[in-house]
Structure 1
Amino acid sequence: MKKSIFTLFVLGLIISCNKKESETTISADNTEIIASDTLANINDEHNSQNSLDWNGSYEATLPCADCTGIKTTITLIDNGTFNYVAEYLDKDYTAKDSGDIMWHSNGSVVHLKGKDINIKLKIVENGLVGLDTEGNEIDGPLKEHYNYKKLN
């Protein structure tokens, strides 16, 4: 009789230990999932696409090798399209283009690809920053010329 009671006690102890271990694992897994979901929501809430008033017109005068500059106006429209106008100063030439705005996954960079243009821009508060073809900010003595100011 003592052996039976002892065996049942040991068996109950083993089962209860295994059950607690499973519950702990499930709880830890749920915590990781919640943390990942929460982190994803935080990242989604804090980017230029959904935190800044990005639609509107922006202007910059870009450097030009054979003219005094290129007055460039980019209009980002909240329907996901853009208009581009580049007026070559001291010349009788204006280039125009339009197309769809492509947002990069980080929500802060737009890729404007029209019929003739293909540019990347970083959206900042009340402005745009011109990027090179690899998506890096333009560096050098003329970098300030690639900062677009918001007009409206």
Structure 2
Amino acid sequence: MRKIFYAAFLFAGLAMTGCGSDKPKAHDNEGNAVAKCETNDKHNAENSIDYQGTYKGTLPAADGPGINMALTINNDSTYTLEYDYIERDGKFKEQGNYTVEGNLMTLTEKEGQMSYFKVEEGQLRQLDNDKQPITGELEAMYILKKQ
């Protein structure tokens, strides 16, 4: 019985030693060593989602039924954005450059105006100027679907 206990104790000690690291340990305010959790989550739109392509959706309009929007994201870090007001004369086209950091896509038009989107699988979610999701009754209308 003693041999089984000793073997189990030795195995547990070896298992704990295998989890050690040569990295310096983090300490709390009182100087006690605390476990430090490091994650290396490289899964984001920048490197794992095929976000280039054309996205379409209908945005709400204050003075009409909506605005058809088509956003084309090119491989060379440029984009083309087309707006077409429903039941009104008004087509607009804008071009510029984009960057993607993590899941945040930033569009910068030629005049310097920026707009933000969250890159999601198969869609782009428009964000406000504070890079936060647009919420409320019409939030689903701020999603562009990949074509």
Q: Do these two structures clear the TM 0.5 threshold for a shared fold by scoring above it? A: yes
Q: Which residue of 1 aligns with 2:71?
A: 74
5+ residue gaps, structure 1: 1-26, 33-37
Residue in 2 that maps onto 1:113? 108
Q: Give the alignment partner of residue 29 of structure 1, picking from 3, 23, 31.
A: 23
Identity %: 30
Instruction: State how far apart, in whole Å, the 2-side matches of 1:61 and 1:115 are.
Output: 24
Q: Provide Cα deviations, 1:82-119, integer angstroms capped at 9, x if missing partner.
A: 11000011111111011111223xx1011112136531
- Residue 12 of structure 1: aligned partner: none
Matches within 5 A, 1:8-87: 28-29=22-23, 39=39, 42-43=40-41, 45-87=42-84
Q: State the AA in 2 paired with 1:66.
A: D
CA contact (8 A) 2:45 2:100 kept: no
Higher fraction of strand: 2
Q: CA deviation at 1:30?
A: 8.0
CA shift, 1:132, in A, is 0.8
What is the aligned-residue RMSD (CA, Å)? Answer: 2.2
Q: For each residue in 1:28-47, what CA deviation from the matched residue of structure 2 results, as whole angstroms up to 9, or x when unmatched?
A: 23899xxxxx84xx33x311
- Hey, what does 2:18 align to over in structure 1? none
Partner of 1:8: none
Q: Residues 110, 29 of structure 1: CA spacing in aligned structure 2 closer, same or farther, 3 A cutoff?
A: same
Structure 1 residue ranges (4+ consecutive) displaced by more than 3 angstroms after TM superposition = 29-32
- Residue segments in structure 2 that go unaligned for 5+ positions in a row: 1-20, 27-37
Per-residue deviation at 1:135? 0.8
Q: Give, in whole Å, the separation in 2 of the partners of 1:90 and 1:115.
A: 28
TM-score, normalised via structure 1 length: 0.69
Say whether 1:102 aligns with 2:99: yes
Aligned pair count reads 116
